[in-house]
């Protein structure tokens, strides 16, 4: 299982969005999810079977040029955003088993540069985004080339955040149980899906609690020698309302869908993946396009499990 590396950046300050379109123009605080959908991709349920310390480096560029209402229609608001991110994921494989599963832990460290332009007002913000820790990840090998993974990601209230300006972090902790399934035949079919819940704490700076949501990252492809070609994407559906000062904010739950091509090259312990995900649908949020370049490598490897 692989979680997404970079929590989604705040698109604009609440003050700017409220002035431009009213509070129903976006869902989640600041218009974004605390998890960057589509970031799992090639690494869904992909945990090394041997003990060691491993690193994944992800480089991402994403852009958006519009906000969308509850019916998926683009709002008449001058809005653009772009973000560059570089994220390091450190994964420890312990070489032990618990409940019949191999045991892992991970730490995710994202650095982001965000530029926003809303109604003629532009800002750039750089810094550390929300750090994510996963104390325990579990992997069960249930059949040939098929495994199931479960973990509990904790996206911590860390990073460079301000309630009055675009920020590269969200101002609250998000609790994220993740269940993923992957069938990856090195000589054929590759199918995987990662299912995630976003359960968000209240932002103590604004007294705002973003609603709970479901996120699915998925991949499908075919392995040809060391190469793999396929498609990848994500789906988000917020199923509870946001709340502020104890009152529900109705009619603004976020939904989004993205899809695009992916290609990967596996050189044994080292691998590289590139994918492009186009935003196909958005409601109460922005529609974003994203390019990913991902590298996976061992830092230290032990013996067999």
When pLDDT is averaged across residues 224-243 and rounded to a whole number, the result is 97
> So what's the pLDDT on residue 246?
86
Looking at per-residue confidence, does 22 or 78 come out higher? 78
With 0-12 CB in 10 A as exposed, 13-18 as middle and 19+ as buried, what is 245? exposed
Domain map (residue ranges) of the chain: 14-301
> Is residue 46 classed as helix, strand or coil in its secondary structure?
coil
> So what's the pLDDT on residue 95?
95
When pLDDT is averaged across residues 62-71 and rounded to a whole number, the result is 92
Question: What count of other Cβ atoms lies within 10 Å of the Cβ of residue 145?
Answer: 14
Average pLDDT taken over every residue of the chain: 89
**pLDDT (tens digit, 9 = 90+) per residue, 149-203?**
999 999 999 889 888 888 899 999 999 999 999 999 999 999 999 999 999 999 9
> So what's the pLDDT on residue 268?
85
> So what's the pLDDT on residue 55?
97
**pLDDT (tens digit, 9 = 90+) per residue, 11-65?**
443 334 433 334 444 688 877 788 989 999 999 999 999 999 999 999 999 999 9
C-alpha span between 239 and 58 (Å, rounded): 29
Contacts of 94 (CB under 8 A, 6+ apart): 51, 103, 104, 105
Contact indicator for 3, 40 with CB cutoff of 8 Å:
yes
Picking from 214, 225, 195, 303, the residue whose alpha carbon sits closest to that of residue 254 is 214
**pLDDT (tens digit, 9 = 90+) per residue, 255-278?**
999 999 999 999 988 999 999 999
Q: What is the CATH number of domain 14-301?
A: 2.40.128.130
Looking at per-residue confidence, does 305 or 185 come out higher? 185
> So what's the pLDDT on residue 302?
81
**pLDDT (tens digit, 9 = 90+) per residue, 88-137?**
999 999 999 999 999 999 999 999 999 999 888 899 999 999 999 999 99
C-alpha span between 170 and 175 (Å, rounded): 13
> So what's the pLDDT on residue 26?
62
- In this predicted structure, the answer to whether residue 8 has a pLDDT above a threshold of 70 is no
């Amino acid at each position: 299982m692989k979680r997404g590396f970079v929590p989604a950046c705040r698109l604009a300050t609440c003050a700017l969005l409220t002035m431009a379109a009213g509070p129903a123009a976006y869902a989640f605080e600041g218009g974004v999810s605390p998890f960057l959908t589509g970031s799992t991709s090639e690494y869904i349920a992909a945990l090394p079977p041997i003990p060691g310390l491993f690193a994944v480096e992800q480089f991402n560029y994403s852009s958006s040029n519009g906000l969308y209402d509850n019916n998926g229609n683009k709002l008449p608001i001058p809005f653009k955003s772009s973000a560059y991110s570089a994220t390091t994921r450190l994964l420890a494989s312990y070489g032990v088993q618990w409940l019949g599963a191999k045991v892992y832990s991970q730490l995710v460290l994202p650095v982001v540069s965000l530029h926003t332009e809303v109604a003629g007002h532009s800002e750039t913000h750089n810094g550390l985004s929300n750090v994510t820790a996963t104390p325990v990840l579990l992997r069960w090998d249930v059949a040939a080339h098929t495994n199931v993974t479960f973990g509990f990601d904790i996206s911590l209230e860390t990073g460079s955040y301000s309630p009055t300006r675009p920020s590269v972090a969200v101002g609250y902790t998000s609790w994220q149980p993740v269940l993923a399934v992957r069938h990856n035949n090195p000589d054929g079919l590759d199918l995987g899906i990662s299912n995630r819940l976003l359960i968000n704490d209240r932002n103590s700076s604004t007294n705002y609690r973003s609603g709970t949501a479901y996120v699915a990252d998925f991949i499908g492809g075919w392995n040809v020698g060391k190469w793999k070609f396929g498609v990848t994407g994500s789906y988000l559906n917020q199923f509870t309302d946001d709340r502020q000062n104890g009152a529900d904010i109705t009619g603004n739950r976020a939904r989004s869908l993205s899809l695009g091509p992916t290609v990967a090259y596996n050189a044994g312990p080292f691998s590289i993946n590139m994918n492009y995900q186009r935003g196909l649908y958005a409601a109460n949020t922005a529609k974003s396009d994203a390019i990913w370049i991902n590298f996976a490598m061992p830092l230290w490897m032990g013996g067999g499990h």
